[in-house]
Amino acid sequence: MKQISLYADRNSFVHDLDPISKLYYILFSILVPVILPSISVTLICSFLSIILLLLAKVFKKALPVFLLVFIVLITVVIIQGLFRPGNETIFLKIGPAVFYKEGLLYALKVTLRVTDIVGAFLILVLTTKPSDLVESLVRRGLSPRIGYVVISVFQIIPEMTSTMSTIMDAQRARGLETEGNLITRIKAFIPLLGPVVLGSLVNTKERAMALEVRGFNAQGNKTFLNEEKTSVLSKPIQLGLLLIVVMAFVWRLLT
């Protein structure tokens, strides 16, 4: 079964942690560098994210994402280094291009922040089953309908791509040329849309009925088959993270 989720099944204490603590961690990673905007704080936070990814044994899976992000960040470095208003101190000259210290420092800060936040999100995404995350949220009051939509997307989209290839075959069988230059391909794509959209509408209607008769709209409280994943560490971690955010805030106010 194909899955579009990035979840990587490993044995680590990060995996054992509950999804909500990981959400706290994301909040922490965003807020702390905002409250205390010094480069050293941001640096510490990014290191923390990377260390956690390493401990969760998912750093390799995180690399491609980081790489993608860095490609985008290079443009930030170039633009800020060259043109940031307030650029005064020349840092580096390459031919006619002059990089300024102020701009580069700013770009470094942005880069670190992005690394930190992306890292925190990856910790959540790579070490948590989507269904576990959504279930945790539903327990905390998220509408089960929204929860259902979010999880089912992970399974139903791969199914739709396989339907797509059947449809493509059916059109090729009737002489539609799908191989060749871009225009041929685009032309071939249009007849696919009808059956895909209509097919999924029909499926959605049938599925809606099937869900309905399984009490999807039942009044009253829902129960859960799986016990909620909690670890003895959950509460201390969540409190600790909150405490650090509050302390950072107080520190900021006092200094």
The tokens of 216 are what?
């999807």
**Shortest separation between residue 218's beta carbon and another protein, angstroms:** 4
Which residue in the block uniquely carries the two structure tokens 């480069």?
39
Q: Which is nearer to another protein, 152 or 230 (CB)?
A: 152
**Shortest separation between residue 163's beta carbon and another protein, angstroms:** 7
Q: Which is nearer to another protein, 163 or 230 (CB)?
A: 163
> What is the C-alpha separation between 48 and 253, in angstroms, rounded?
25
Q: Which is nearer to another protein, 95 or 175 (CB)?
A: 175
**Shortest separation between residue 150's beta carbon and another protein, angstroms:** 9
**Shortest separation between residue 83's beta carbon and another protein, angstroms:** 49
**Shortest separation between residue 42's beta carbon and another protein, angstroms:** 38
- In degrees to the nearest 10, what's the CA dihedral of 67, 32, 87, 93? -30
Q: Which is nearer to another protein, 12 or 200 (CB)?
A: 200
Q: Which residues contact 13 (CB under 8 A, 6 or more apart)?
A: 55, 233
Q: Which is nearer to another protein, 40 or 221 (CB)?
A: 221
The closest of 28, 32, 50 to 41, measured between CA atoms, is 32
**Shortest separation between residue 153's beta carbon and another protein, angstroms:** 8
Q: Which residues bind another protein (CB under 8 A)?
A: 1, 129, 131, 144, 148, 151-152, 155-156, 159, 163, 166-167, 169-179, 191-195, 198-199, 202-203, 206-227
Q: Which is nearer to another protein, 215 or 236 (CB)?
A: 215
